[in-house]
Amino acid sequence: MRYVLAVAETGGFTRAAERCHVAQSALSHQVARLERELGARLFDRTSRRVRLTAAGEAFLPAARQALEAAGRARAEVAAATGEIRGTLTLGSIPTVAAVDLPAVLREYRLRHPHVRIRLRTGSSERMVEQVREGTLDAAFLGVPPGFPAHGVHSRELCRGRHVAVVAPEHPLAGEDEADLRRLAAEVFVDFAEGSAARAQSDRAFAAAGLRREVAFEVSGVELMVRMVRYGLGVALLPEASTAELHGVRRVALTDGPVRVERLVHSRFPPSPGAAAFLALLGTPDHRETPPAPGAAHRARPSDRKAPPDMSVIHRTTLTPGKLELLTAWLPSRPWYRGGAGGPELAKAGGFRLDDPEGEVGIEFMAVTDTAGPHPVTYLVPLTYRGAPLDGAEHALLTTAEHGVLGRRWIYDGCQDPLLVAELTALFEGRTRAQHQSVSDTPDPDVHVTRTGDGPLPADFTVTGDEGEETVLTASHGTQLRVRRVLRPAPAGPARPGPDEAGRVAGIWRTPDGGAVRGDFVVLCEGPRA
């Protein structure tokens, strides 16, 4: 069956033999033998081409399912012995933005090194079919609202509006925003007609009562952007997927198309490898059940006994961006180690905490400054609020526009009571550090230790900066010492100080591509009354 699949997928016996690493004569013999057993020819063979017969078309889906079942059986046996093996086959649109897919795959490979990972790109429609057929374990889609994904489990990851992408010399390049009516007379570069990627834009123009001309149909974003850059047309793309495009301009659209990113996977029980991948994404491997009565109630930090529902990351742009605002803010800090020329920042790592009410973003962000002779990594706790925090004007870094949530007030998190409350909950074991760029996923690289138990004080306030730390002090002298300049932990076992009662440690990346671990926050408990 594997040989038949190879012939069908490669279109010839020679290439199929190369894929399967066998002699062509041996492969041809085995296919002919199977045809005799089935009593039907699976392929029509000519000197120039090989084509499936009607019997071959009928045989192919069942063969795929049988091979998938055999692979799953082998993986189940391996999993039963405590080791996950097999193959994880994923599909993704080229512009997926709801997850940082390379980062997720890297984490998955670190956890499950014996699983072979295969990634295919394609249209959302075709990938739904492949998940349904069992040739894909899961797929990331980009579809219009209401897209039918029949026969599979489907979960919304994020949604956002498209923006117009134009050449730098285009008349709209200097505009902050526009509407579809202003674009209707333009020549467009878009995906193939009938595809889900194209349907979002077609529907938006139809709903506005407008017609447009799509002169160039392409299959990938790279070619689309190149054509826009050369002034051959304009394009509509999801805002979150355009942040790193160069040589073009983005224009917000007041009535732009809405794209929904979804994760789909099979309704059948997943293989151990697929189940591990879904678990990494925080996705149950079965149909989601309705919440129990009363489940909508959110516990306060003081009475929460278990980790709360985890927040969803909205993949979109923040204007100004985080690195841009930190470039302006960091030189004003007493622990800044850079010179007068200003920092050159790159994101290096960090983690998130969840707001129990789901309203405030909480992030511990590590950034590395490479402007000086030696790179310096800073830890910047930040909170993102939908309204000003009373009495915290001194802690406000800036306001920024979030592509989905609107205006955000961004604060130095050490001055935000909510971040401090969640940090103490982290030390008390009532919440967990979350992956910085993957929704619903605890971060296994963040380690929390604490000697003793019981509640910590609830009245921590910033008492000042000491050297490379920001110090928050509570009753009886208990302190949270936030490391602002990150240093790699010394080799060997950790040696806590005399007053040290706990620490939050994590990993950050170095400019040369390596990774180091060190302390982010240290808990020092004062004398008890």
Asked if residue 459 lies in contact with residue 474, where contact means CB atoms within 8 angstroms, the answer is yes
- Only one residue has tokens 């079942």, namely 69
Distance, CA of 497 to CA of 520 (rounded, Å): 15
State the DSSP string of 229-275: HTTS-BEEEEGGG-TT--SSEEEEETT--EEEEEEEEESSPPPHHHH
Asked if residue 135 lies in contact with residue 264, where contact means CB atoms within 8 angstroms, the answer is no
279, containing H or E segment: helix 272-280
Confidence at residue 266, expressed as pLDDT on a 0 to 100 scale: 86
Q: For the domain bounded by 1-79, which CATH number is listed?
A: 1.10.10.10
Confidence at residue 293, expressed as pLDDT on a 0 to 100 scale: 33
- Buried-exposed string 136-169: b where 16+ CB fall within 10 A, e elsewhere: bbbbbbbbbeebebeebbbbebbbbbbbbbbbee
Distance, CA of 2 to CA of 30 (rounded, Å): 10
Confidence at residue 9, expressed as pLDDT on a 0 to 100 scale: 81
- Only one residue has tokens 């012939």, namely 7
Confidence at residue 314, expressed as pLDDT on a 0 to 100 scale: 54
Q: Which of 503, 459, 495 is nearest to 477 (CA)?
A: 459
pLDDT per residue as tens, the chain (529 positions) = 888 988 888 888 888 888 777 788 888 888 998 988 899 999 888 766 788 899 988 898 888 878 777 766 665 565 555 578 889 999 998 888 788 889 899 999 998 999 999 999 888 889 999 998 888 999 999 888 888 888 888 888 888 889 999 999 999 998 888 999 999 999 999 998 888 788 889 988 998 899 999 999 998 888 999 999 999 999 999 887 887 788 999 999 988 888 888 999 987 778 888 988 988 887 544 333 333 333 333 333 333 333 333 345 555 567 888 899 999 999 999 999 988 788 999 999 999 998 887 789 999 999 999 998 899 999 999 999 989 998 889 999 999 887 667 788 999 999 999 999 999 999 999 999 998 877 667 888 899 999 888 889 999 999 999 999 999 999 889 999 999 999 998 876 666 777 899 999 999 999 888 889 999 999 998 764 4
Asked if residue 96 lies in contact with residue 145, where contact means CB atoms within 8 angstroms, the answer is no
Q: Where do the structural domains in the chain lie, given as residue ranges?
A: 1-79, 84-284, 318-524
502, containing H or E segment: strand 500-509
Q: How many CB atoms lie within 10 A of CB 501?
A: 19
Long-range contacts of residues 102-111, Cβ cutoff 8 Å, at least 24 apart = 103/437, 103/438, 104/280, 104/281, 104/438, 107/280, 107/435, 107/444, 108/276, 108/277, 108/280, 111/276, 111/280, 111/444
Tokens of 7: 């012939």
DSSP state of 45: E
Distance, CA of 430 to CA of 412 (rounded, Å): 23
Confidence at residue 7, expressed as pLDDT on a 0 to 100 scale: 87
Distance, CA of 420 to CA of 389 (rounded, Å): 14
Distance, CA of 46 to CA of 238 (rounded, Å): 46
Cis peptide before 320 (omega within 30 of 0): yes
For the four alpha carbons of 460, 462, 465 and 468, in that order, the dihedral sign comes to positive
Confidence at residue 268, expressed as pLDDT on a 0 to 100 scale: 77
Nearest-5° Cα angle at 375, 374 to 381: 145
Q: Which of 421, 405, 323, 338 is nearest to 373 (CA)?
A: 338
Q: Mapping DSSP to helix (H, G, I), strand (E, B) and coil, where does residue 188 land?
A: strand
Strand residues in 354-499 grouped as ranges (E)? 361-369, 376-385, 396-402, 406-412, 447-450, 461-466, 469-473, 479-483
pTM above 0.75, yes or no: no
84-284 carries CATH number 3.40.190.290: yes
Q: Which of 165, 432, 117, 150 is nearest to 306 (CA)?
A: 432
Confidence at residue 315, expressed as pLDDT on a 0 to 100 scale: 54
- Only one residue has tokens 């160039």, namely 216
